[in-house]
Structure 1
Amino acid sequence: MSTKTYNSLVTISVIIFIVIVPNKCNVSANESLSKYVKICSRNDVDLNNCVLESVMLLKPHLFKGIPELDIPSCEPLFLSEVKLVQGHGVMAMNSEYRNVHLWGFSNFTVHNMDIDLEKKLIKFDVNIPNLTMKSNYFIDGKILLFPIVGNGLFYANYSDVNLKVTITLEKVEIDHKIYIRGKEISLKLKIDKADIRLDDLFSGDEILGKATNDFINKNWNTISEEVNPTIENMMVDYLESYTNKFFNKYPLDVLFPDK
């Protein structure tokens, strides 16, 4: 899993939480939710815009995080370790990132919200204008036919990060109560531009290191197309677990009150 992966995971998870949980709960079911979001009725004729308003109300709180909603501080986001294994194609390598710090997540926006409760389908797009990362890294593999080996500091600036998310819901019965879950989550990730620097490549060889960094940045679109499917699959696995953690807290008659 790369840094951009983790940012995207957290972004989507928070938005999904906003869309499906707080906006369908009544205040008496969980008063803490109403402190941060606008409560939207499932019968609201303008449900899509109501949900978007909730997103905007929650957004200022994300800088410091909301412990009572299990939402961590996001400026910076921190992750102790992430791994990315890419075994074929343009990039074939193992890489690890430790002490990852990320800035820029809280500046996200949500677009094209489309909620169809009858079809149990939710679609939306997420954009983050800029993400900055700093971490320690280890990498061993190749890009095209060129070897890449290094262990040091990693810096990156990702511009115009975009995600298209589709969630299909299902009903399940637990202890004689009906709950909803994410039956299927699909997404597409696109990062328009990346400025990446890996220090101490090839045991500190400055000439080879600069050439490799320049190659990665100049060929970012090709590299990202190759790696994105692997990243998207890992994001989906994470999101299915994360979102259902919230779904399991509230039965259907609480999440979707008939009012």
Structure 2
Amino acid sequence: MRVYNVNFIVFAVLCIKTCSTTNMALPDYITACSRSDPHIDECMVDHANKALPFVLKGDAKFNLPNLLPLKVPQININSKDSLSMQFTDCELHGLESSVVTGMHVDFKEQKTTLEVDIAHLNVLANYNISGRILILPVVGQGPANITIAGGKYKYEFTFDLMRRKSGKQHVKFTWTNLEYTAKRIYLKLDNLFNGDRMLGDNMNRFLDENWKDVTDELYPSLKEAVGAIVTSIARGLFSKIPFDDLFLP
């Protein structure tokens, strides 16, 4: 499965201390932390949250796109060969409610952990679905509206350091993992069953009443979807950012 989605790596941007391999001055909303600081985790979280409102708005000078909203061309989700879902022209609204709650870099083991809370994330897209959700057959295509309330996201990755011709080291991802929980997820799929209103309303009611079981069944595909786009964007960012510029000696 190949998935392109959310998001969520915007938050990796929050620990950025520079966004270029040139001598360009850092923007005033980004502050560096030192590896020798015994409270470096707290430093990174504090500075990340202060930078977040500016980072989300984008900064062309530092190759940061506008993430309000985050636009994703396509998301593909498959579940145990029984369900096929495709979302296109996706827009993710609500990233401005994000709060970085934890950040840790293990410099010896070369592992990074990032924790983010998003109070209210809304996904608007066009969907195409066929197969079964839990025990019920489902088919249709049309507008989709999905809201994730009280989301908690934990993204981890390990890395190697590769030295480039410039003499500076850059991050190379060797393993990634994303976990998430939510207090509530709301799903609304319009035009199910070729526009049959009664069947569509019943299915949407079923999805709402059984949201936990539905999302649990889709969890492996959903976490892979989110993790894939997070890693994709992170690779692009870290390819431009020297490691020693991210974390001062």
Query: Which TM-score tier does this pair reach, normalised by the shorter chain?
Result: 0.7 to 0.9
- Identity, % of aligned positions: 23
Partner of 1:162: 152
**1:61 Cα deviation (Å)?**
1.6
Matched, 1:106 2:106: no
Q: Could you give the per-residue CA deviations for residues 121-167 of structure 1, whole angstroms, max 9, x where no partner exists?
A: 22232111111222222211111232111122212222111112222
CA distance in 1, matches of 2:157, 2:52: 21
Counterpart residue type for residue 196 of structure 2: D
Q: Could you give the per-residue CA deviations for residues 9-56 of structure 1, whole angstroms, max 9, x where no partner exists?
A: 2x3x1222332x327x8998441x333311212222211111112212
Matched, 1:22 2:50: no
Matched, 1:115 2:108: no
Secondary structure in structure 2 of the residue aligned to 1:71: coil
Q: Could you give the per-residue CA deviations for residues 224-250 of structure 1, whole angstroms, max 9, x where no partner exists?
A: 122121222233333333323232324
Q: TM-score, length-normalised on structure 2? A: 0.86
Q: Could you give the per-residue CA deviations for residues 167-192 of structure 1, whole angstroms, max 9, x where no partner exists?
A: 22222233383333232221212222
RMSD: 2.7
| Preserved CA contact (<8 Å) 1:26 1:254 | no
Q: Which has the higher contact order (CA 8 A, sep 6+)?
A: 2
Residue 201 of structure 1 is aligned with which of 192, 203, 208? 192
Worse overlay, 38-47 or 169-178: 169-178
Counterpart residue type for residue 190 of structure 1: T
Residue 70 of structure 2 is aligned with which of 66, 77, 92? 77
For structure 1, the 5+ residue unaligned runs are none
Give the 5 Å matches for 1:1-259: 6-7=5-6, 9=7, 11=8, 13-19=9-15, 21-22=16-17, 29-31=23-25, 33-88=26-81, 92-175=82-165, 177=167, 178-258=169-249
Counterpart residue type for residue 17 of structure 1: V
| Preserved CA contact (<8 Å) 1:202 1:208 | yes
| Preserved CA contact (<8 Å) 1:14 1:71 | no
**1:99 Cα deviation (Å)?**
2.5
How many residue pairs match? The answer is 247
CA distance in 2, matches of 1:135, 1:122: 31
CA distance in 2, matches of 1:95, 1:74: 24
**1:62 Cα deviation (Å)?**
4.0
Larger proportion of helix: 1
Secondary structure in structure 2 of the residue aligned to 1:249: coil
Q: TM-score, length-normalised on structure 1? A: 0.83
